[in-house]
C-alpha cells in the first residue's frame, strides 16, 4: 500500500507542477500544468516572434511555442497519468486482498 501511495502522490504532484518551455534565449514560457494547459503565454511569444512577419522571397526560422507547449504538456501527461493510475490500483489492490483468518498482521 505504501508503494501505491508514493506512486499516486508522485503522479498527482507531477500533474499539478507547472510546465514550461524554453524560448531559446534563456527565458521560459509558461504552459500551465498537465491538468490545466494554458497556451496564452506561448501565443503571445509567437506574436512577438519576427518569424511571423512575411518577407517576400525570404524564409526566416520560425519557432512555434504553442506546439512546444503542447508537446511538453503531453509528455508530462504521458508519465504522470499512468503513474497515478498505477498508484490507485496498488492502493485498491492492497485494500481488496483478504488476509487469511488468524494470519498475523505486521506493521
pLDDT value at residue 1: 87
Read off the pLDDT of residues 4-49 as tens digits, 9 standing for 90 and up. Answer: 999 999 999 999 999 999 887 888 999 999 999 999 999 998 887 7
Q: How many whole angstroms separate alpha carbon 79 and alpha carbon 62?
A: 29
Q: Which domain holds residue 35?
A: 2-96
102: in domain: no
Read off the pLDDT of residues 70-92 as tens digits, 9 standing for 90 and up. Answer: 999 999 999 999 999 999 999 99
Residue 58 has pLDDT above 70, yes or no: no
Q: How many whole angstroms separate alpha carbon 17 and alpha carbon 81?
A: 13
Task: For residue 102, count CB atoms less than 10 angstroms from its CB and return exposed for 0-12, middle for 13-18, buried for 19 or more.
Answer: exposed
Q: How confident is the model at residue 3 (pLDDT cuts 50, 70, 90)?
A: very high
49: in domain: yes
64: in domain: yes
52: in domain: yes
92: in domain: yes
If one counts the domains in the chain, the total is: 1
Q: How many whole angstroms separate alpha carbon 97 and alpha carbon 43?
A: 50
From residue 36, alpha-carbon distances to 41, 52, 63, 72, 80 in Å are 14, 27, 23, 13, 14
Amino acid at each position: 500500500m505504501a508503494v501505491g501511495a508514493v506512486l499516486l502522490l508522485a503522479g498527482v504532484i507531477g500533474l499539478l507542477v507547472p510546465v514550461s518551455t524554453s524560448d531559446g534565449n534563456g527565458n521560459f514560457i509558461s504552459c500551465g500544468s498537465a491538468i490545466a494547459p494554458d497556451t496564452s503565454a506561448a501565443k503571445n511569444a509567437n506574436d512577438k516572434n519576427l518569424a511571423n512577419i512575411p518577407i517576400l522571397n525570404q524564409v526566416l526560422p520560425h519557432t512555434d511555442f504553442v506546439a512546444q507547449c503542447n508537446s511538453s504538456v503531453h509528455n508530462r501527461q504521458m508519465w504522470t497519468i499512468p503513474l497515478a493510475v498505477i498508484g490507485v490500483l496498488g492502493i485498491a489492490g492492497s485494500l481488496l486482498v483478504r488476509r487469511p483468518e488468524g494470519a498475523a498482521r505486521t506493521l
